[in-house]
Chains A and B, each alone.
Chain A
Amino acid sequence: MAEPILAARGLSKTFRAGGALFGKPFHAVKDVSLAVAPGETLSVVGESGCGKSTLARMLVGLETPDEGEILFRGAPIRRDKALRRQVQMVFQDPYLSLNPRRTVLDIIAEPLDVHGLAKGAARRQRVEELLDSVGLDPAAATRFPHEFSGGQRQRIGIARALAAEPSVLVCDEPVSALDVSVQAQVVNLLIDLQKRLEIAIIFIAHDLAVVRAISSRVMVMYLGRAVEMGAADQVLVTPSHPYTVALRGSALEPDPARARLARGTAARGEPPNPVDPPPGCRFNPRCPRATDICRGEEPLLTPRPGTTAVACYHPVGREQLVGA
């Protein structure tokens, strides 16, 4: 991999369930490390409560990690505003993340104002350029968010994130609120922007098929832990961690023959409450391959030559997936 532009080392974040003082602490994210290079997309996949959104919020500085650090070109980001500017976020809900009382111009120009990048005519011109680059009419600048469809609003959200000329875009489920035909528009826009601007993208998602379309590499999270990480085709097409296998088996594909084969193979149970994770491997109560060792020491994400890194004592081999 090329020199990473953004890296995270050993990030952990603890919240308290049921009140800051008397609540029970739990790890939303536990000891997660990652790195992305310019022009690369790393997707973070998992179900609700796996910590993917908390991870995203730490990367852009909306949450402070309890442990670990975030490095931009090798330098710790911390509170440095100039470095913060380099990592921008696209939010999930294009209806909630745009202020309804501000014009598109003011919404997109906010990063320009915050970082003192452009004023007056230059500010207006920059916003029009940004609108054009996300496929919207520059005349949209004078309008309000409610005048736009969901897909167009997400384009506005992307334009806002790009205003500060970031090197890294963190996208938190950017297409999950959109209709299928519109989803593809936004995914393609992100791919095009990435090629044009050489930005790195961290793409948070729960939909494996969308992830496959956009990712170079994929990290799978379960209850705050990274359980598998590697090249997108290896993780998604020939997964090794039993949880990734279960996710893959549950993915609904628009292919009747394939989809019917998957009937009756859904993973058992549901993700447990993160306040009380099971001892050992967090997936063991739901895992068809679990043995005694899995209930003991928690497995760590271990790189394996030629294939994905996996946190599992009994990874699934390629041969076992044939016909599955």
Chain B
Amino acid sequence: MAEQADQPSVLSVSGLDVTFRTLRGEVKAVSDVSFTLKRGEVLALVGESGSGKSVSTRAVMGIVRGNASISAKRMQLAGHDLLTLDEDAKRKLRGRVISLVFQDALSALNPVLSIGDQLGELYRTHLGISKKEARERSIELLRAVRIASADRRIDDFPHQFSGGMRQRILIALAIALKPEVLIADEPTTALDVTVQAQILDLLDELREELGMAMLLITHDLGVVARTAERVAVMYAGRIVETGAVDDIFRAPAHPYTAALMASAPRIETVEKLEPIRGAPPSLIALPPGCAFHPRCARRGELCDKVRPELVAGPNGRSHACHYPLVEIAHG
């Protein structure tokens, strides 16, 4: 996206490591992850379960569970240095500057509070406005996420809404304070097909209206294709390939990206699906060298010995592979 190339970055992370201590050993959930998000753009973090995509963004939000150790070389959010900021200051950024839409709308909402109370509480805490004004703002917010008869539904409880409507309410909570960065963690995974498309459309419209940047976490290449401009593919806690969505879908460089695409079924054509053999590795005992090598069809001499570094090429593309499908560093 040409116009976004000049935009300043609103979120910039480099060298992020997240390690969990467990009874069975240290789990390196995220290793040396770096990415930047420019104002107004959509970056997708895509990967299978256990790839570290959710943990990375939770580390940025500062909401990883207690037994984790997090370190990074750099973590900048809209002019704030997240590495030096104290807990109190970070809390103030959440909601106002960076915000998160969770996956499961039923468990993320409080079942015993009305929607109006939950939205109103947010306004009263952060903006210190009156109950009446908070209520009015909440109704406006419900309208913004296209909930019909918002002025009547404001007093309803979460269970009185359908799954799609609850997801809209979660989005309303996340955008209430007009954040600059919205993290959407599998925002449509639990929804029906037609509703899924509606929610993606809504996120897209809101992003444009509010000028937010969006970090989209998903396992679904179809969601990436529809919504994102850039994509970072994660495997076993590391980014293995990044670039513009069009470039990567046209010609993936990393064999894992290519294999993921070949395993995804399509409607227009019936080709035999090509699954990736085996299963994602355990993060406690990662294979030596490239973590993908035991499943890789292009495995060569180096792959089980030397871990490939992420190599940057032109057009913001990079990959971590000794034997890539496309040579991007020179071309």
Contacts and interface: CB of A to CB of B under 8 A. Distances in A.
Interface string B255-277: 00001110111111010111111
A256 B244 CA distance: 11
Nearest to B222: A252
A308 to B, nearest CB: 15
B170 to A, nearest CB: 16
A265 B194 CA distance: 10
A255 B225 contact: yes
Contacts of A209: 222, 264-267
Contacts of A184: 263-265, 273-276
Interface in A229-256: 233, 236-237, 246-256
B274 A47 contact: no
B266 A254 contact: yes
Contacts of A207: 193, 265
B246 A213 contact: no
Nearest to A212: B267
Given A250-B197, A254-B261, A187 B273 contact: yes
A149 interface: yes
A316 to B, nearest CB: 16
A206 B277 CA distance: 25
Interface size class of B (residues with CB under 8 A): 35 or more
Interface stretch (A99-107, A266-274, A291-299): A266-274
* Interface of chain A, main secondary structure: helix
A40 B54 CA distance: 40
A17 interface: no
In order of increasing CB-CB distance, the 6 nearest A-B pairs are A252-B222, A184-B275, A266-B197, A250-B197, A181-B276, A254-B221
A172 B95 CA distance: 40
A237 B267 CA distance: 7
Interface in B191-219: 192-198, 200-201, 204, 219
B80 interface: no
Contacts of B305: none
B222 A254 contact: yes
Most buried by A among B204, B220, B267: B267
Given A252-B225, A266-B201, A270-B164, 5 more contacts: A181-B260, A213-B265, A255-B249, A257-B246, A270-B163
Contacts of B261: 254
Contacts of B220: 180, 252
Nearest to B165: A270
Contacts, number: 145
B103 to A, nearest CB: 14
A253 B222 contact: yes
A64 interface: no
A307 interface: no
Contacts of A256: 225-226, 245-246, 249
B163 to A, nearest CB: 8
Given A184-B275, A263-B204, A266-B198, A252 B219 contact: no
Q: Which of B200, B223, B261 has the most CB of A within 10 A?
A: B200
B308 interface: no
B260 A180 contact: yes
A319 interface: no
A48 B192 CA distance: 7
A135 to B, nearest CB: 10
Contact of B267 (A208, A265, A271): A208
B263 A266 contact: no
Nearest to A210: B265
13 contacts: A47-B192, A179-B49, A183-B275, A206-B192, A206-B193, A207-B265, A208-B267, A236-B267, A252-B223, A253-B268, A254-B225, A256-B245, A264-B201
B193 A254 contact: no
Contacts of B276: 181-182, 184-185
Chain A's interface size range is 35 or more
B280 interface: yes
B279 A151 contact: yes
Contacts of A187: 265, 273
Contacts of A255: 225, 249, 266
Interface string A170-189: 00000000011111110110
Given A209-B264, A254-B264, A188 B194 contact: no
Contacts of A264: 201
A254 B246 CA distance: 11
Interface string B180-191: 000000000000
B194 A181 contact: no
Nearest to B225: A259
B7 interface: no
Interface in A104-149: 149
B265 to A, nearest CB: 4
B315 interface: no
Given A212-B266, A270-B192, A259 B48 contact: no
B110 interface: no
A262 interface: yes
A260 interface: yes
